[in-house]
Amino acid sequence: MSLTVMRADAQKLIERVAEYLKTNQLVKPPAWAMFVKTGVHKERPPTNPDWWYIRAAAVLRKLYVKGPLGVSRLRKMYGGRHRANQHPPHFAPGSGAIIRKVLQQLENANLVTKADKKGRTVTAKGRKLLEEAARAVIAKK
């Protein structure tokens, strides 16, 4: 694992990778993406029209940094505080359908591959994409 991805500003790196995914059409939001919430803990759908690409880039970076991850672990990472009416807050996981679809699309783009019984890992092509984007972000500082 290269330290350039770890040193680069995460938000700028994710935005750069998201732009790459969008321009090269490696990931495409499904028809229902503009109506769906990203988890039960959210009140409204995302306002950014490019949120699908940003989520895909963020998932790709998470897989690079944290190693093989499955849908359930990623749901925990993208979950949040859920407060139903007057009840005390509890944790609620993020949407599994969104994460599953994003992983499938990244797999079709050959950026991610399945690891035996461990979830998914980043392929050499995905690593190269993230490291090049990280170098560009660091050089821009």
User: How is domain 3-140 classified at the CATH fold level?
Assistant: Arc Repressor Mutant, subunit A (1.10.10)
List the chain residues with pLDDT less than 70.
1-2
Give the pLDDT score at 4. 86
pTM here? 0.93
Residue 115 β-bridge partners: 119
Rounded CA gap, 49 and 41, in Å? 20
Domain spans in the chain, listed from the N-terminal domain onward: 3-140
